[in-house]
Structure 1
Amino acid sequence: MTRASVLVERLEGPAAARAEAAFRLVYADAFAEPPYGETAEDVAAAFRGFRSRVGRPGFRAALARTGDGEPVGMAYGHPVPADTRWWDELTEPVSADMRREDGHRTFGLLELAVRGPWRGRGVARSLHAALLCGVEAERVLLNVHPDGAAAAAAYRAWGYRRIGRARPWEGPELYDVMVLGLRA
């Protein structure tokens, strides 16, 4: 899949593990900017569990590169397990039906990022489409930084709706929790 001279490749398991440096580069570059302000230590912490995530059943990733191989964007996630704590992090409870997980019902979009110079060219949309192509889940679930206006706007434009707020990580910030239905 190409768009704006960028190739988007879907990766699973070992192939994603081999591309870890590219995922890390995009993550570090994109999330160093406001409102995230992630440091080298934050990036290291975020990637401590990357190898174990890659090995999870249903893990999939998408990596966008220029024609000469420079990483410009990435996305990854996996099915939400039945014993997830994701729903417990919400500040307001949701219905038992919304919370119900079986390891297949919901795909968790863990990260989606595009480096600054390639934003506004449809790369994020292409990554999102490549990542979710063939996903058999009913819905996609994600957290978005409340000050990440561009990311939240893109998710809304793609059909996501906000269902609550959560504190998924230690710290003062509440994140918006959004869901996208994949089946009618």
Structure 2
Amino acid sequence: MNVQFQRHDGTSAKEIVDELINVYAEVYNIPPYADDPFFSVDSFSDRLHAAFSMTGFETVTARLDNALIGYVHGVTLTADKPWWNSLGDQRPEALQQAAEERQIFWLRELMVLPQHTNRGLGRQLHDTMIAGRAETTTTLTCIIDNQPAHDAYLRWGYTLMGQIKHAPESPVYDAMYLPSH
């Protein structure tokens, strides 16, 4: 598989926004996400468009034969994010300081089209993204019952901090971090 990876900032990501949304629509068109308003394409589109202007926004795309087959995106974590603060003392003190110094990358989404999963592409996207980031630590949130993703993050070295909700209507997520890289 000759996959091509490319980095995009918020400006260049806007140029491929329809492709990004189409991947999301396919990946999340399964139970329990398909009928949940929190995971609707419109809701995701709103969150993605808002992310484009966040500090440190970046996406890494994976293309095969010029077709988008997966991507990861994230931003620099700001210490005032409600989900981050809701963890309170469950966050190691060093991470609280790192957040104050904007030294944490918040991996917001990692998606691979179903026909391309279980080939290591998610890990390649992840590693490509964080290898190019200036932040010293990575954090993410993973839906607690998304066992394949949850298990992968633990295998990749992530540590659990606690559970959060991004919004009252969202599911429960495990908040995780990857120590300095």
Alignment TM class, shorter chain as reference:
0.7 to 0.9
Aligned residue number for residue 21 of structure 2: 24
Cα distance between partner residues in 1 of 2:120 and 2:101: 31
TM-score (norm 1): 0.86
- Please give the secondary structure, in 2, of the residue aligned with 1:55: coil
Q: Deviations over 1:139-167 (max 9, x none)?
A: 11111011111101111111111111111
Cα distance between partner residues in 2 of 1:175 and 1:91: 15
Contact 1:108-1:142 at 8 Å conserved across structures? yes
Question: Size of the alignment, in residue pairs?
Answer: 179
Cα distance between partner residues in 2 of 1:91 and 1:38: 32
1:57-72 superposed matches below 5 A: 57-67=55-65, 69-72=66-69
Q: What is the aligned-residue identity percentage?
A: 26
State the Cα RMSD in Å. Answer: 2.2
Cα distance between partner residues in 1 of 2:106 and 2:90: 19
Aligned residue number for residue 115 of structure 2: 117
Q: Deviations over 1:33-58 (max 9, x none)?
A: 23433568711111114233222331
For structure 1, the residue ranges without an aligned partner over 5 or more in a row are: none
Q: Which has the higher helix share?
A: 2
Contact 2:79-2:96 at 8 Å conserved across structures? no
Deviation of 1:134 after TM superposition, in Å, equals: 2.3
Q: Give the counterpart of 1:12 among 6, 9, 25.
A: 9
For structure 2, the residue ranges without an aligned partner over 5 or more in a row are: none
1:30-179 superposed matches below 5 A: 30-37=27-34, 42-67=40-65, 69-90=66-87, 93-100=90-97, 101-102=99-100, 104-171=102-169, 173-179=171-177
Deviation of 1:135 after TM superposition, in Å, equals: 1.2
TM-score (norm 2): 0.87
Cα distance between partner residues in 2 of 1:177 and 1:38: 24
Deviation of 1:175 after TM superposition, in Å, equals: 0.8
Cα distance between partner residues in 2 of 1:72 and 1:15: 18
